[in-house]
Chains A and B, each alone.
Chain A
Amino acid sequence: MGFEGIGASVRRKEDVRFLSGKGNYTDDINRPGQLYAVIKRSDRPHATINNIDVAAASSAPGVVRVFVGADMAAESIGGLPCGWQIHSKDGSPMAEPPHPVLAVGKVRHVGDPVAVVIAESKQAAKNAAELIDVDYTDLPAVANLTDAVAGGAVEVHDGVAGNLCYDWVIGDKAVVDGVFANAAHVVKLDLVNNRLIPNAMEPRVALGDFDTSSGDFTLYTTSQNPHVIRLLMGAFVLHIPENKLRVVAPDVGGGFGSKIYHYAEEAIVTWAAGKVRRPVKWTADRSESFMSDAHGRDHVSTAEMALDAEGHFLGLRITTLANMGAYLSTFAPAVPTYLYATLLAGVYKTPVIYCNVKAVFTNTVPVDAYRGAGRPEATFLLERLVDVIAHDTGIDRVELRRKNFIPADAFPYQTPVALQYDSGDYQTTLRVALANADWNGFEARRTAAKDRGKLRGIGISTYLEACGIAPSAVVGSLGARAGLYEVAEIRVHPTGSVTVFTGTHSHGQGHETTLAQLVVSQLGVPFDQVEVVHGDTAKIPFGMGTYGSRSLAVGGSAMVKAMDKVIAKGKKIAAHLMEAAVEDIEFKDNVFSVAGTDKSKTLTDISLAAYVPHNYPIEELEPGLDETAFYDPKNFTFPGGCHIAEIEIDPDTGVVEMVNFTAVDDVGRVVNPMIVEGQVQGGVAQGIGQALLESAIYDPSGQLLSGSFMDYTMPRANDIPNMSVATENTMCTHNPLGSKGCGEVGAIGSPPAVINAVVDALKDYGVRHLDMPATGAKLWSIIQAATPRMAAE
């Protein structure tokens, strides 16, 4: 057994369980007497519900109960709450229309839940759901942003004029306009950030249980944040006090943001379990996931950069339409504002920035954070714009970036869009990435490809993101209705082994390993004597869960603080046992020693004394060695780096092949390099998916055309190249670990690198920009359109 602390690629604790089929995912859990819920969903994009006839369904074989929206309304069940309030530029709060758990009066997207059948088996419930007769009057629907804001568009919510949720700005428009008026060059770009469907491989599941003896409710759910669900569902929807409600998120099969939110099905099964006094389980079919899991991205933007004659960025001006879908999902309003516009400085010292974001309702599935959340949208916009500037001005794209970088000695660096970056070194990540990708050898590879009849291109993206969310007071002032601290309890057992109770949640990230490594390093406890517990509100303190690359930077910092307390208390106990002054006690590698002597006690000696306090400073010190700490971050963290994509296009078909991908990221302190690399690789694959393959496509009437894996292109193994992944780290200066976070960088940095490579490959075809995904069909059309012109030249 080698070194297993911070910095070691320790093999994961959780793997034997998962590799042996012994994972405990929500659908693996069954409760005695369990019933099954099937949701009757709207097949209409927008319609008035005239009547719901459940008579036939209610009397169908195996059916226990059928519930509709009116049944919940009759018990004053609340709507699904939104966790973030944005104010428009005129100071008015965003439009926040009701989001009933089961539709009342109208349906607003295909997939909107209309009724639920509770039956003895899933098949019986499905049979009965088909017997529910919903009498609709169809209404006109709007499915895309441009239609929704066009004059005369139908209102998705009565009284929400122009379907406008909010009209928000950051920056001083007059100042920015003034800069543009005097600029040597202005480069403008219209672009779309394509709508995505997260598609974690585990479909969502919710199992509600009601204990008839205690009156306690338990919800087992595929969630990234059980305490958040308990708070939202208990306090706002079902009105169950938190002491009577337990939420368990066991092993969860991937989240990527889509399992942050409080979903209707969680409330339905919990409430229904109380009504029928039996456990009720709902398991999504994948095709149901497509129309009920929050989607991601979906922006339409115009970006303009003002430049001086040498290509220095003088000012950035952006307008964005952001799709909210039919209702506000839990954190939806924050995504295109504080997770997007605040990132628009990127790695550049652009002095002034103005961004206007209009959030818009449409008759589509709600949109919320998906891996990166706002930051991929900002990065795609910025890194495409930089390449277009290079294209339009003739300045080399690498040189253009270098000349506008925030220099490494400028930190802390205050951007014009609220954020203060603490550390970074963009020249270094760029330099190393260029070397790793053999940037200088590219033209030879392009020529070789041309000889094979292929168009080869290379693209670069130098990006930054803000994560490690988040300082509670800051986000509170920006509209968050929650704190975003994290919590950890370090329970040192009498024999010196340790259990960590963390408020973060692991759904692939490997916390059981990484967090244990922190204990190895700080307390010197062997790796196999550390257990990490997460995901159960009955076990862990009130924590906020995992998203926004926060688990290590925020949750890990809470652990450090809790372990500091353990050590501080341990020193007092050690001082007592060794009859020394507390100030003379040193702690290192599991041992308390008296400075300048050979006297020492192990952590086990101390913990045993703490739990068997016979010889113990009982007057001053409580027994036990079990410390909890809450950590509220002082700032966001700012990972960044450089991604380089190399692709080849088959001009006969337009099909893109990923040839190489190089990532050099700055993620701060790395605890487990193996896991960090895995996170980056996975994020990059999702970014390649967005860039080349994935797109949620609605027809103009609001029907989802890409509604299953038959039509929504998931990246497969042969779509993804071998990747070169490395880090060049600078430390976060404001948290005790120095860690910045690595969960989202791959998905944030990669899409513009890929598209920049595609545009580069097509440079002889006069292509300045193209929107994602760069499918074969799309590129073939571009090549076709350009070919006659090229032939003429």
Chain B
Amino acid sequence: MYDFTYQKPGSLADAVKVLSGDPEAKALAGGQTFIPVLKQRLNKPTTVVDLSKLGLSGITVSGDKITIGAMTRHADIAANADIKAKIPGLAHQASLIGDEAVRHRGTMGGSLANNDPAACYPSALLALGGTIKTDRRSIAADDFFQGMFTTALEQGEIITAIELPIPEKSAYEKFRNPASRYAIVGVFVAKFPSGVRLAITGAGQGGVFRHTEIENALSANFAPDAINGIVTPPDDLNSDIHASAEYRAHLVGVVSKRAVAKAT
């Protein structure tokens, strides 16, 4: 690891100031992806800004949405009674990220800001049609993800919370990479009165994406069999030593059906 200055600001304004003033300063949330990246010397920040003292943790329910502080740990999301009751797919998803020790440190905001194409949370945010709250604005999920490892966040902009509408039904199914345990294909399905949203992580070359054909079929008939016959073209899907694009394309159908079966 290259050395850097470590700062742990006590206010959001201070954190934003440091991160905005130095393009080489980086925010540290849970660090479960970022610290391994630093260890491999793939990133050389001047300053690492620890966001843990900004009061960004916590889960609140108000009316038809749940708001999750950006620094809320995966383990707390997985165990939260409100999330389990109202967005069970998200609780389940959080319980599948990394391993127990990773879930004790990793945060939802950190994962979303990183937008790893095989990370789990982007699929929940996108399928639920959530909103990213930052120090300066709100960003709709559909506008937030801009290709792998790329988001709408500006230099120095910090996610403060994630606001998620409560669906009628939700589920997450993950087909894991056998080695890394990231998603080869992860499917989050959410059923709202207005229709079904279904987002897929791990499979797409451009990161998380919504599968509108499956969404339309499920909006008409929210049942696993509604997906039958929908063919996902492999053209824009990832291919690696663990799974070809064709295999991923096939898994999109299988995993989506399982997610729907779990939600119904």
Contact = CB atoms under 8 A, between A and B. Distances in A.
Q: Do chains A and B touch in the complex (CB under 8 A)?
A: yes
Interface of A: 123, 126-127, 130, 287, 652-653, 693, 697, 705-706, 709-714, 775-777, 780-781, 784
A713 B178 CA distance: 6
Contacts of B124: none
Output the residue of B1, B40, B175, B250 with the most chain A CB within 10 A: B250
Contacts of A711: 179-180, 241-242
A777 B179 contact: no
Contacts of B180: 709-711
Given A652-B254, A711-B242, A777-B247, 7 more contacts: A123-B1, A709-B180, A710-B179, A711-B180, A711-B241, A775-B178, A775-B242
26 contacts: A123-B1, A123-B3, A127-B2, A130-B41, A652-B254, A653-B175, A653-B251, A693-B178, A697-B241, A706-B179, A709-B180, A711-B241, A711-B242, A712-B179, A713-B178, A713-B179, A714-B179, A775-B178, A775-B242, A776-B178, A776-B247, A777-B242, A777-B243, A777-B247, A780-B250, A784-B250
B102 to A, nearest CB: 13
A784 B179 CA distance: 24
B176 to A, nearest CB: 10
Contacts of A697: 241
Interface residues of B, number: 17
Given A652-B254, A653-B254, A711-B241, A780 B247 contact: yes
Contacts of A776: 178, 247
Contacts of B1: 123
A656 to B, nearest CB: 10
B7 interface: no
A452 to B, nearest CB: 14
Nearest to B250: A780
A697 B242 CA distance: 11
B123 to A, nearest CB: 18
A777 B41 CA distance: 32
Contacts of B247: 776-777, 780-781
Interface in B1-25: 1-3
B203 to A, nearest CB: 13
Interface in B238-252: 241-244, 247, 250-251
Closest CB pairs A-B (n = 3):
A713-B179, A710-B180, A713-B178
A735 B49 CA distance: 66
A377 B103 CA distance: 40
Contacts of B254: 652-653
Interface in B168-187: 175, 178-180
Interface in B208-264: 241-244, 247, 250-251, 254
A195 to B, nearest CB: 13
Given A123-B3, A780-B247, A705 B241 contact: yes
Contacts of B243: 777
B257 to A, nearest CB: 9
Contacts of A775: 178, 242
A693 B177 CA distance: 11
Nearest to A705: B241
A778 to B, nearest CB: 9
A287 B40 CA distance: 9
A716 to B, nearest CB: 9
Contacts of B2: 127
